[in-house]
Amino acid sequence: MAAILQAKDAEEWTYRGEGAVNLVLAYCGSSPHFVGKVLRIQKVPNDRHECENGHSALNNHESLLWGKFEGIVSAPTKEIVEHVYVQKVMCPLLGSEHVDAGIHVLVSRDFLEAVDNKVLCQRPSWRVDAARVNPLRDSVLLIADHSVFPHGSLKEDFCVSVEIKPKGGFLPTSEFIAEENAVKKRITRFKMHQALKLHQGKISQISQYDPLDLFSGSKDRIQRAFKALCLTPQNNFRIFLNGSIIFGGMGGTADNTSSAVAQSFHDGLKHVILAKDGMHIKCLVDLLTETIFKSGLLNRLLEVQKLDAIDIEGAIHAYYDIISQPCVVCRKIGGKRFSARYSSIHSMPRDDKVKIVRDYLISATAKDLSMMISFKSKINMDEESPHRAVFLEASKQTFCYKASFIDLDMKPLKKMEYYYQLDQQIVNYYVQMLKDRDVLDCDEPTQESLNACTSVKHGGKFFLFQANHNLRNDKLSEELKRKIWISFLFYEERCVNYFSIFQSISD
Ligand SMILES: O=P(O)(O)O[C@@H]1[C@@H](OP(=O)(O)O)[C@H](OP(=O)(O)O)[C@H](O)[C@H](OP(=O)(O)O)[C@H]1OP(=O)(O)O
Ligand SMILES: Nc1ncnc2c1ncn2[C@@H]1O[C@H](COP(=O)(O)OP(=O)(O)OP(=O)(O)O)[C@@H](O)[C@H]1O
Ligand SMILES: [Zn+2]
């Protein structure tokens, strides 16, 4: 392995994907040190003039939070803090067999600049506008490539791997949630956030996915979750064949499933799943359902997410005490009634408050991580294979699988204020929509709306139903679009079989 990666080495790395913070490259060369690995490189926002080189570690308040984990506070750089956080905090919680913390590889500025140039045309333009590779980094992370199956299989075999970003899988029950925000206790944050994202133009379609289905432990509901992810993958679902993406959005979101994508998806799956034409997607959904159901992989993740025990509406009060600032939330809502409610938090021993905030941040990592599950037909594995197996009844095939968690980054303490503000923005918008809906329920669809979508009569009321249709491109009035979306969002009963729509597009 070269001591420091240089500009010429950039040739051997190809674009794999990216999130808000990191760019990920897959290795296409032949060095045994790098085969089967990816590089995870931190980006820097374009609006930040000075590139940080990662040499600022934790501040005093953060040190208070993470001091109980050996090696975090003493870490000399932010990069090492992140690495130790994965090793010492997330790995024991999620299971070491499902986490690869990776190793640091030294890189030159030339290498980082060459990579930045090389991948520019493959990156989604909105990601390019937002951030670039940070050229001042001394090192980047080398991690196992979870989209290819590790050792023990034949080289010419096919491996399908699936990336799922499950998001938060439980409803909060905290006593600190204000009465006017009680909707949070019955509607998931994911669903409410979808409404806000639609309103802000960040997505063009509401996701059909419900995290509660995926985490339910019920086979039918897990299957429903995967069907929904197939239809509206956004940034929650991707499928790779031998490391190349065949379904979902690269580096960003994929709103819905186009027929072209569906075709290549089918063609790819044919290599792995022995099923009749048209049945491959259904088989993959069955395989994923069976794997999640039998493995209990999400149970442990859910427990980590539930470290957020009192919701941001409770944790924010502990946060202000930890940073020794007057509590902005108590000051804003004022009045004796409220100060009594939150005084139980403000009067806690400091260690308890530290634990609340630490657990909240760990939970935030667990609500934002992704899981990659790779599958390979067992026929092509050697007998000694250490991987677990799952049987797919529909194709009578046994698959080996390996599951890994990725994106286990520590969330910065200062993000607590942002979390509180975003939470309030999400719930306020949703509550406002609920009020709008009460008015809407009495409306009958107009001719214009009937032309634009399917109308569904339900419980004596008309609901407008939009199916696989991009409203943004339609010449409808803004008000009508809004009405259609609100109706769509609240149409809870799934009278249309989305999956069959998807099948017919792809057949
Ligand atoms: O707040 P959320 O739920 O929107 O999550 C953010 C993600 O948005 P999404 O999953 O699309 O809704 C967001 O993902 P995208 O950039 O939208 O792909 C990031 O993962 C962000 O984390 P960080 O700032 O990179 O540490 C995430 O922020 P955290 O809340 O996890 O800090
Ligand atoms: N170890 C890995 N093996 C295979 N693919 C990976 C691996 N790590 C990341 N990827 C791919 O790269 C993409 C971006 O990685 P990652 O989620 O770590 O970025 P991020 O910027 O930290 O994300 P976020 O926006 O959630 O903060 C992932 O969605 C996944 O497709
Ligand atoms: Zn307070």
In DSSP notation, 287-341 reads: HHHHHHHHH-HHHHHHHHHTT--SHHHHHHHHHHHHTT---HHHHHH-SHHHHHH
For position 230, what pLDDT does the model report?
A: 87
Ligand 2 pocket check for 423: Cβ under 6 Å:
no
Which of ligand 1's atoms lies nearest the C-alpha of 253? 18
Cβ(18) – ligand 2 distance below 6 Å: yes
Query: What average pLDDT does the chain have?
Result: 83
Quick one: which ligand is closest to 325's CA?
3
**Across 113-122, 123-132, 383-392, least confident range:** 383-392
Residue nearest to atom 26 of ligand 1 (CA): 411
Higher pLDDT, 434 or 344: 344
- The 10s digit of each residue's pLDDT in 439-464 is 444 344 455 544 444 444 444 544 44
Cβ 145 under 6 angstroms from ligand 2: yes
In angstroms, rounded to a whole number, what is the distance separating the alpha carbons of residues 204 and 476?
14
pLDDT score, position 459: 47
What is the Å distance from ligand 1's center to 361 Cα?
A: 13
Task: Give the pLDDT confidence score for residue 85 in this predicted structure.
Answer: 97
Task: Give mean pLDDT, residues 304-320.
Answer: 98
Nearest Cα to Cα of residue 170 among 228, 225, 213: 213
- Select the more confidently predicted residue: 118 or 245: 118
Give the model's pLDDT for residue 149. 80
Question: Cβ < 6 Å from ligand 1: which residues?
Answer: 19-21, 235, 364, 368, 409, 411, 415
* Separation of CA 421 and ligand 1 centre (Å): 14
User: What is the torsional sign of CA 393, 395, 401, 404?
Assistant: negative
Q: Is the CB of 371 under 6 A from ligand 2?
A: no
Nearest-ligand number for the alpha carbon of 339: 3
Burial of 339 (0-12, 13-18, 19+ CB in 10 A): middle
- Closest atom of ligand 2 to 245 CA is 31
Q: Which atom of ligand 2 is nearest to the CA of 146?
A: 3
pLDDT band at 489 (very low <50, low <70, confident <90, very high): very low
> Nearest CA to 127 among 15, 19, 39?
19
Q: Is 21 in the pocket of ligand 2 (CB under 6 A)?
A: yes
Query: Percentage of the chain surpassing pLDDT 90?
Result: 58
Q: Best substitution site from 165, 371, 406, 410 to test ligand 2's pocket, by max atoms within 8 Å of Cβ? A: 406
Please tell me the distance between residue 172's alpha carbon and the centre of ligand 3 in angstroms. Answer: 19
Segment among 82-91, 193-202, 372-381 with least mean pLDDT? 372-381
367 lines ligand 2 (CB under 6 A): no
CA of 344 from ligand 3 middle (Å) equals 10
Q: CB within 8 A of 428, min separation 6: which ones? A: none
Ligand nearest the Cα atom of residue 332: 3
- Ligand that lies nearest to the alpha carbon of residue 17, given by its number in the listed order: 2
Atom of ligand 1 nearest to the CA of 189: 3
**pLDDT at site 231:** 84
Work out whether the CA dihedral 455, 458, 463, 468 comes out positive or negative.
negative
How many whole angstroms from 136 Cα to the centroid of ligand 1? 24
State the average pLDDT over residues 470-480.
Answer: 52
Q: Which atom of ligand 1 is nearest to the CA of 365?
A: 31
| Digit-coded pLDDT (tens) for 245-298 | 888 877 555 555 544 455 667 777 877 887 776 678 888 999 999 999 999 889
| Mean pLDDT, residues 398-405 | 93
The pLDDT value given to residue 454: 46
Question: Is ligand 2 within 6 A of the CB of residue 407?
Answer: yes
More confident residue, 337 or 410: 410
Higher per-residue confidence, 300 vs 279: 300
Long-range contacts of 64-69 (CB under 8 A, 24+ apart): 64/322, 64/354, 65/322, 65/354, 65/357, 65/358, 65/361, 65/413, 66/358, 66/410
What confidence tier does 103 reach under pLDDT thresholds 50, 70, 90? very high
Does residue 95 contact residue 366 with C-beta atoms inside 8 Å?
A: no
Give mean pLDDT, residues 167-189.
96
Residue 352 sits at the vertex; the CA angle it makes with 348 and 357, to the nearest 5 degrees, is: 110
| Closest C-alpha among 439, 427, 428 to residue 486 | 439
Decide: 321 in ligand 2 pocket, CB within 6 A.
Answer: no
**CA 368 / ligand 1 centre spacing (Å):** 6
Q: Which of 248-257, 343-352, 496-505 has the lowest mean pLDDT?
A: 496-505
506 confidence band (pLDDT: 50, 70, 90): very low
pLDDT at residue 473 tops 90: no
Spacing of C-alpha 115 from chain mean position: 25
Q: Which residue has the higher pLDDT, 268 or 34?
A: 34
Per-residue pLDDT at 13: 96
| Substitution candidate for ligand 2 out of 407, 408, 409 with most atoms within 8 A of CB | 407
Q: Which ligand is nearest to the CA of 370?
A: 2
Question: By percentage, how much of the chain surpasses pLDDT 70?
Answer: 77
List, by residue range, all CATH 3.30.200.110 domains of the chain: 7-145
Counting ligand 1 atoms within 8 A of each CB, the residue from 191, 194, 368, 423 with the most, and so the one to mutate, is 368
82 lines ligand 2 (CB under 6 A): no
Superfamily of domain 7-145: Inositol-pentakisphosphate 2-kinase, N-lobe (3.30.200.110)
Tell me which residue has its CA closest to atom 21 in ligand 2.
19
Which ligand 2 atom is the nearest neighbour of the CA of 243?
Answer: 4
Looking at the DSSP bridge assignments, the partners of residue 26 are 14, 38
Which atom from ligand 2 is nearest to the alpha carbon of 369? 26
Q: How far apart are CA 39 and CA 31, in angstroms?
A: 14
Q: What is the pLDDT of residue 469?
A: 46
Q: How confident is the model at residue 476 (pLDDT cuts 50, 70, 90)?
A: low
CA of 275 to the centre of ligand 2 (A): 31
Q: How many A from CA of 202 to the centre of ligand 2?
A: 20
Q: Which residues of 260-291 are buried (b: 16+ CB within 10 A; e: fewer)?
A: ebbeebbebbeebbebeeebbbbbbbbbbbbb
Question: What's the pLDDT tens digit per position in 46-86?
Answer: 987 645 555 458 999 999 999 999 999 999 888 899 999 99
CA distances from 208 to 227, 281, 497 (A): 9, 17, 12
Rounded Cα distance between 137 and 247, Å, is: 32
- 467, 453 Cβ separation under 8 angstroms: yes
